[in-house]
Structure formats: structure tokens, C-alpha cells
Structure 1
């Protein structure tokens, strides 16, 4: 099996496969120039290659992309029985800036916002449920699009969030108030198959449809709390809250992150919150 076939087997898109192939060819060309066997290169030699990239003007963002592909390539070699280790597993790019949505909300604000939004008579049930999933399960907009009726397990009080090429599957607890709303919603919509937020008996639902509903939802939410920005801000706030209560690896699972580094970046929000709290209560303030 070739590396390209390995990626295709992992169900990566054609665009991603082509990009990954181009990155790995760059690395293999360097190994060849250095007379290093791809099945035998070491951690130190990988660091030398990263230094080579830096000296040749490769940006940190691109270097990070190349490094991720080398990790995949090592896993491919392990799969093929050509290696027993992955030297790229412990290598990270320092100083790589990952932006998070600004102005995270605390959980008390989110729960109060959910209560206020839920009692509005002019808000339909699907929007209430969507907002609840944002607040209590930290789902993404794409995940709202994919949730099916069979993913809701009311008797267990749980919901299954399916995985994708970029996210992991997970099963999360539902809040008690969500169970009540979901039960009423499902009782009203008698069909048992298909997407959760379809209208009528349509089996398909586009992300554009969800985005239109969310746009209207957030217009309403901003009237209740001007600090509200968008769904990404809500998810960022929820993950930040989880990190205060749970172990890093547990939050990685709850958020559906494939890599723990994706979860670690939300710890920056915790640090900023701590700095603000210290500033507010400092004796010299």
C-alpha cells in the first residue's frame, strides 16, 4: 500500500490527500539529499529537517502542517511494518499562534441566557434545543447539522455526537431540562428516522439551513445579553469551563478533539480569566 492509498483508506478528501502528498515529498526529498532512509530517520534528524525549513523561510504555520503529515507518514510506515516508532509524535512548533474567540462567557451567564431564551414564547422548540446543545454539550454548527433522531437516547439521558475526519465521536450526558424539551419535540414529530432538525419528513438538511436559524437565534440572544457573539464563542466558553472541572484528556474527549493540543489551547482562556480575577482583587487595585 502506498502512502496515498493509506490516506484514501482513512477517507481523507482528494484535496487533503494531494496536499499531504506534496508535503511528504518535500520531506522525502530532504531525506534523500541527506542519504537518510525514511524508515530509519531519528528524532534529531527530524529536528534538523525542521531547522532546514526555518532557514529556507517556511512559516511556522506551514512547518506545523508538514510536521502533522510526517506524523501520518510514520503511522503509515508502522502500519506497513517498516517502523516501530513515530519520531514526530513528540515534536511541536513553539510560538504557533492559534486564535480563540474573544470574550468567553462564564457558565453562569450561559445557563441564565438559556433559561431566559427558553421561556420566550416566540422561540420555536428547535432553536431552544439547538441552543441547549451549544451550551451543555459544546457542539459545533456542523455537528448540529448531522445529529439524527437515533443519536438521542432519552432513557439514558445521553446524546451521541458522530465523528468526522477532523473530530472524534463521543457520547455526552444531557442536562435534565434538555431531556424534557427533547421529549416534547420528538413526541410532536412522530417520525423516528432522519436528521433531528429536519422540517416535515425531509431526510436532508443543509448547513446553510442551520446557519440561517442560528443567525436569527443569535440576533435574539444578543438582545438578552449584548456580550454574545456567535456559536464559536459559546463552544470556546463551554470548553474553557470544562477545563476548570475535568482532566485535560476528559475534556479532549468531550470536545471531540483528535489531538490534545487542540484542547490545550483553551487553557489560555483559563489563564486570562485568572489574571483578570487577580487584577480585580489585587490589594493595590
Structure 2
């Protein structure tokens, strides 16, 4: 049971995120004793005060994300029936937004798993690789860094190492991935592994896959969408967009799934359905 805001944050965020949000929320409540009854305009006014004290966009986005969590909690425990700032956002200046209309739906991405291969053993390997693209939204670089030890079939998870631009994370595997991963690791990969490497994904000659190899695997699939730009990057972008807009996963959770360091990076993938609110916040934070 969610008894306190601290418990709620620990249940819905990573340990580090929960700690940061709790600090921000406590400061917000201390300086705004009537916050429990705040309306939309009250929060816009508060964010206006924040912007006057701190021009850093990422800092302000972090504060707003924490405040949103506070009102999420109030709604869940029944202390409020409405969320006063759920759609309130802060746009990052001079930052090109994602053209979400050019991306692929979840149903379209599943078509990528229908490809057949002429080389023995590669069907299973390609299905493993493609499933990590369309279900976990990994980058090409993350795929090349994967090792066998990163896959935990007992718990149904895969560990993704941190990089310069992305956070580390442990992601759940889909039930439909479990059999293909078990077959690949236990039957197919030992046949391919001529060089005794620990890397998970191997080419037909036994060497670890490189980024160029992954792009080559995607290349024949472009015929499915001849008028659109299909590559590992647009697949990942589509997955993130679908998490937010098709599956309605909360932004903070999508940020963690994608490994984004900042909420503003994830926010770019939200389809415009509250343009009036965005215009209002832009007036309070002139670019």
C-alpha cells in the first residue's frame, strides 16, 4: 500500500530518481504550504518564479517532473480527484522536435520479425537482434556491447550497460523472447562462436557483430516501407514514441526504459495533443 510520498516514489522510480524527486517535492511543499490545493495557474506561476532564479532548462524540467509526481501521488491516494499540471511541459530551446508522424507503429514494427534468412542459424539470431530493437528499443551500439552474461533467462531480464549518452538499465524480456533467446544462447550461438568471444550477437563467420553489420541486417527490410526511412535509429525512436503514445506508459518510466538522462529528451516523443498548454508555458518561459 502506498502510505507516503516517499514509498510511492520508491515504487515508481529508480532509487536515484526517487531520492532527487523527494528532495525537490519537500522543498516545493515547504515554500508552498497551500500546494495541495494548487490549480494549473498556481503551478505555472511557481515555475515562472523558478525560471527567474534559474535559467537552466534541464534544472526546471527536473523540478516540474518532481512536482508532477507529487500530484500523481495525491490522485492515487484519493486526496485529489484531478491532476493540475499533468500536461504542463517545458520546451527545450533550439531543439528540433521528433517528427513522430514519420515513425512506425507497434504493428508495423512486428512485420520486421517475418524476414527469412538463407544462412543456417541466422533466423534465430536475427529474431533475437530484431526483438531487442522493437521491444526494448536498444541502439546499435548497445547491441554490439551486449555479452551473454547480460541476459538473465531465470529472471527474464537483460542488462544494458551505460554509455556517454545513455544510462544503464535492466529491462524485462517479453515472454515471446524467452524461447528464442534460450535457443540462440544454448544451441545456435555455440555453433557460431568460432573465436570464443563473450559477445552475445555473432555474425555468420563467428565474429561479434559491429554497427555496420546491424545496419546490413536491417537493409533488406526496407522493402517493407519503401517510402520511409527504416534503420536502427528510427526503429528505436518509434519504440519510444509508441511507449508514450500507444501504450500510455508514464513519461518518467519511458525515460528509464530508454536510458535517457533528461526528461526533456523523452518529452520530444509526445504527440502534440495539448498545444494550448505548451503555448502557455512558452509564454512564461520566453525563448
> TM-score category by the smaller chain?
0.5 to 0.7
Given the alignment, which residue of 239, 242, 249 partners 2:252?
A: 249
2:159–2:170 Cα contact (<8 Å) kept = yes
Q: CA deviation at 1:220?
A: 1.3
Which residue number in structure 1 is paired with residue 268 of structure 2? 265
1:57-94 per-position Cα deviation (integer Å, ceiling 9, x unaligned): xxxxxxx8xx779xxxxxxxxxxxxxxxxxxxxxx775
Which residue number in structure 1 is paired with residue 70 of structure 2? none
Identify which range, 236-245 or 186-195, moves more after superposition: 186-195
Distance 1:270 1:211 in 2: 36
Q: CA deviation at 1:97?
A: 2.5
Distance change (3 Å), C-alpha of 1:131 and 1:201: closer
Which residue number in structure 2 is paired with residue 213 of structure 1? 213
**Equivalent residues in 2 for 1:134-283 (5 A)?**
134-187=133-186, 188-190=188-190, 194-198=198-202, 205=208, 209-226=209-226, 227-244=228-245, 245=247, 246-268=249-271
RMSD: 3.4
Distance 1:269 1:240 in 2: 12
2:157–2:170 Cα contact (<8 Å) kept = yes
1:240–1:269 Cα contact (<8 Å) kept = no
1:143-182 per-position Cα deviation (integer Å, ceiling 9, x unaligned): 0111110111112221111112321111111122222221
TM value normalised by structure 1: 0.56
Secondary structure of 2:215 counterpart: helix
Distance change (3 Å), C-alpha of 1:271 and 1:175: farther
2:112–2:130 Cα contact (<8 Å) kept = no
2:255–2:266 Cα contact (<8 Å) kept = yes
Distance 2:146 2:97 in 1: 27
Secondary structure of 1:185 counterpart: helix
1:127–1:213 Cα contact (<8 Å) kept = no
Secondary structure of 2:135 counterpart: helix
Which residue number in structure 1 is paired with residue 96 of structure 2? 98
CA radius of gyration, larger in: 1
Distance change (3 Å), C-alpha of 1:261 and 1:129: same
Number of equivalenced pairs? 186
1:163–1:170 Cα contact (<8 Å) kept = yes
Secondary structure of 2:158 counterpart: strand
1:113–1:225 Cα contact (<8 Å) kept = no
Distance change (3 Å), C-alpha of 1:270 and 1:101: same
1:179-207 per-position Cα deviation (integer Å, ceiling 9, x unaligned): 222111111334796111245776xx4xx
2:58–2:262 Cα contact (<8 Å) kept = no
Distance 1:121 1:271 in 2: 45
1:210-235 per-position Cα deviation (integer Å, ceiling 9, x unaligned): 23322322221112332452111111
Q: Does 1:126 align with 2:136?
A: no
Unaligned runs of 5+ in 1: 1-41, 48-63, 70-91, 273-285
